[in-house]
Amino acid sequence: MVIYLLAGFFLLLFIVLSFIDRRRISNGIILTMALFFSVLSVVYATFSQGNELLVSVMGTVLLLLVLLIPFFVVGIATMLIVNGRLMLKREGRKLANMLPLIIGLGILALIITWFGSILKTGSPILGIVVVFIVALVGYFSFLFLSFLLSTFLYQFNFPRYNQDFLIVLGSGLIGGDRVPPLLASRLNRAIKFYDKQYAKKGKRATFIVSGGQGANETISEAEAMRGYLIEKGIDENFIIMEDQSVNTLQNMKFSKAKMDAIMSNYNSLFSTNNFHLFRAGIYARKAGLKSQGIGAKTALYYMPNALIREFIAITVMYKKVHMVLLGLLLLFFAFLAIIGVTFR
């Protein structure tokens, strides 16, 4: 009964909080909890009914899932390693492009360590250390699943065609002054919405191209984006440059200042790549913007690395909370280790 109540509680809480504001990672965490207790409820209900056929089927399914876990984990690690090599080949040998490779190798190392601890007997400390590492991996896996759910659900935005401003978030330029494919996809996504709104409502939105000038760039990202939009036929009178920002939060804050200076009551929308959409939404909320986002498609091979980077960025955003929780987890396992040494 308690399991059913918990499943219903977390599901209802998720619906209410999502209705209030979808741009929160806590929504994904709550949905993950709702799904966990929902699955647990189904399993409990099946076994509690006493139907031999249902119990047999459920038992077989659970056994298969347990047996498939090692193959699933190894498969994930292998795919990450392959993707990491592809990233290095296509995007260059940078640390940021090595994330899938590093994580894939890390998973394999964890598996080897786990089996090594099983084979090595008489070492309770090693066992506790391995269990702590597994708990750590479980903690971040739970967070990553919550992040993926939040990111996936946030893709389904259906903004109204009544926008006054379209904010396009900048990214690094090629050769110091040219719009790269990644940034072009953001601009094209905004242009597509602009054209559709004008066709449906006869209303022209004003573009705000947001991005400062990097150390290796000869012009600002905003200026490069402005030139791109003009080449695509957008009237320069409907383009505003915000060329001082150096990160996504500043993109939102400085763009808001531009819009506030023009009108007090407005509708705005931001355009970025689909992998970056959810984190950009979080920053929009932090900047006091009611804006939702529209996402441009990204090359499939680039997605694992991009999602890992987004997850790390969001985790760092809430680092104080995670440090407290991980500190408590470490203290718990340190206590177990002390007990293991004392009573060995």
DSSP letter string, 126-175: HHHHHHHHHHHHHHHHHHHHHHHHHHHHHT-----S--SEEEEE--PPBT
Question: How sure is the predictor about 66, in pLDDT bands with cuts at 50, 70 and 90?
Answer: confident
Q: Is the pLDDT of residue 138 over 70?
A: yes
Residue 187: which CATH number? Answer: 3.40.50.620
Task: Tell which wins on pLDDT, 125 or 54.
Answer: 54
Return the pLDDT at 262: 95
Non-local (6+) Cβ contacts of 297 within 8 A are 185, 273, 274
Non-local (6+) Cβ contacts of 171 within 8 A are 180, 182, 183, 186, 211, 221
Q: Both 150 and 24 in a single domain?
A: yes
Phi, psi at 107, each rounded to 5° = -65, -45
Return the pLDDT at 215: 84
Q: Both 81 and 186 in a single domain?
A: no
Within 10 Å of residue 54's Cβ, how many Cβ atoms? 13
Q: Both 98 and 199 in a single domain?
A: no
Q: Which domain holds residue 245?
A: 165-298
Do 141 and 69 touch, CB atoms closer than 8 A?
A: no
Q: Both 144 and 277 in a single domain?
A: no
Question: How sure is the predictor about 343, in pLDDT bands with cuts at 50, 70 and 90?
Answer: low
Q: Both 81 and 111 in a single domain?
A: yes
Token duo for residue 340: 């293991």
90-105 exposure pattern, b = at least 16 Cβ within 10 A, e = fewer: eeeeeeebbbbbebbe
**Using CA atoms, how far apart are residues 79 and 101, in angstroms rounded to an integer?**
9
- The pLDDT > 90 percentage for the chain reads 65
Token duo for residue 187: 């601009």
Return the pLDDT at 247: 94
Q: Is the pLDDT of residue 116 over 70?
A: no
Return the pLDDT at 51: 78
Residue type at position 173: L
Whether 53 maps to a domain, the answer reads yes
**Using CA atoms, how far apart are residues 337 and 332, in angstroms rounded to an integer?**
9
Whether 160 maps to a domain, the answer reads no
Non-local (6+) Cβ contacts of 236 within 8 A are 226, 230
Instruction: Please give the average per-residue pLDDT across 23-42, as a whole number.
Output: 93
Q: Both 71 and 147 in a single domain?
A: yes
3-class SS shares of the chain: helix, strand, coil, % to 5: 70, 10, 20
Count of domains forming the chain: 2
Q: Both 287 and 330 in a single domain?
A: no
**Where is average pLDDT lowest: 85-99, 124-138, 191-205?**
124-138
Q: Both 291 and 215 in a single domain?
A: yes
Q: Is the pLDDT of residue 44 over 90?
A: no
Do 77 and 104 touch, CB atoms closer than 8 A?
A: yes
Q: Is the pLDDT of residue 118 over 80?
A: no
Whether 308 maps to a domain, the answer reads no
Q: Both 40 and 150 in a single domain?
A: yes
- The pLDDT > 70 percentage for the chain reads 94
Return the pLDDT at 214: 86
In which residue are the tokens 């599901």 written? 11
- For the chain, the C-alpha Rg in angstroms (whole number) is 24
**Using CA atoms, how far apart are residues 138 and 107, in angstroms rounded to an integer?**
12
Whether 312 maps to a domain, the answer reads no
pTM, two decimals, is 0.86
Q: Is the pLDDT of residue 126 over 70?
A: no
Return the pLDDT at 55: 82
Return the pLDDT at 333: 72
**Where is average pLDDT lowest: 124-138, 156-170, 251-265?**
124-138
Whether 311 maps to a domain, the answer reads no
Reported as a single tens digit per residue, the pLDDT across 178-223 is: 999 999 999 999 999 999 999 999 999 999 999 999 888 999 999 9
DSSP state of 287: T
Whether 39 maps to a domain, the answer reads yes
Instruction: Please give the average per-residue pLDDT across 236-258, as a whole number.
Output: 96
Return the pLDDT at 183: 96
Whether 292 maps to a domain, the answer reads yes
Whether 294 maps to a domain, the answer reads yes
Supply the mean pLDDT for the chain: 89
178 beta partners: 174
Q: Is the pLDDT of residue 344 over 60?
A: no
Q: Both 60 and 189 in a single domain?
A: no
Q: Is the pLDDT of residue 12 over 80?
A: yes
Which run of H or E residues covers position 192?
Answer: helix 181-201
Q: Is the pLDDT of residue 117 over 80?
A: no
Return the pLDDT at 111: 80
Return the pLDDT at 329: 82
Q: Both 125 and 148 in a single domain?
A: yes
Q: Is the pLDDT of residue 124 over 90?
A: no
Q: Both 67 and 116 in a single domain?
A: yes
